[in-house]
Amino acid sequence: MRPIPPVLLPLLRSNAVGELLAWLYLHPEREYSTIELAAWTGTSQSTVSREADRFYEAGLIRERRHGNLRLIRANTETILAKPLTDLLAVTFGPAAVLPPLLRPISGIDEAYIYGSWAARHANQPGPPPQDVDVLVVGSADEDELYDAARTAERTLGREVNITRISSTSWTSDTSDPFTTSLRSRPLHPLIQKESSS
């Protein structure tokens, strides 16, 4: 079955392509294994490898081998690098920029993007999102969340709003209209709860 072109950027073949390019171009100093990119984008490693082949042939990435690992990074010397980076920042950027900013903050059990960006990522039609709404579940420090939001805004070029709720409210409160509404709409996971073994 052929993937549906993403509403966020219909020029691309799929959301996976947009997210992979966003991780690479919005963190150009980083080199990623295809295993890492597969885990962070929720895509199979074979899909990441196939797309990386296409990116490499088009001159969009550089790659090297380290043993059995294939390591790739953005080719920042191509004439496409600046406009592509700008385009990815305002489309798929939130999925690549927010996780590295939120992961180091203690007290985050889960984090999701909701609202218009999550709806567009889920291929619900509508205008381009003007801001990014983030739900943080847990007890993270609000000042640290504020700082993370401001840092993300500098890269994404738009307002980032973070709402924090307790884990109890998220998992147990069925009477709160806000959480009920969120659960009925698209959510894009940024940090997911560790499954207990």
Q: How confident is the chain (197 residues) per 10-residue block, as mean pLDDT?
A: 74 90 96 94 94 95 93 96 96 96 97 97 93 97 98 96 94 84 94 62
pLDDT for the residue numbered 8: 82
**What digits encode the pLDDT tens for the residues 91-116?**
999 999 999 999 999 999 999 999 99
| Number of separate domains in the chain | 2
pTM for this predicted structure: 0.88
CATH (domain of 62): 1.10.10.10
Q: How far apart are CA 145 and CA 150, in angstroms?
A: 9
Asked if residue 26 lies in contact with residue 97, where contact means CB atoms within 8 angstroms, the answer is yes
Q: How far apart are CA 159 and CA 155, in angstroms?
A: 10
Answer yes or no: is 166 within a domain. yes
Answer yes or no: is 169 within a domain. yes
**What digits encode the pLDDT tens for the residues 27-58?**
999 999 999 999 999 999 999 999 999 999 99
CATH (domain of 132): 3.30.460.10
For residue 83, give its domain range: 15-91
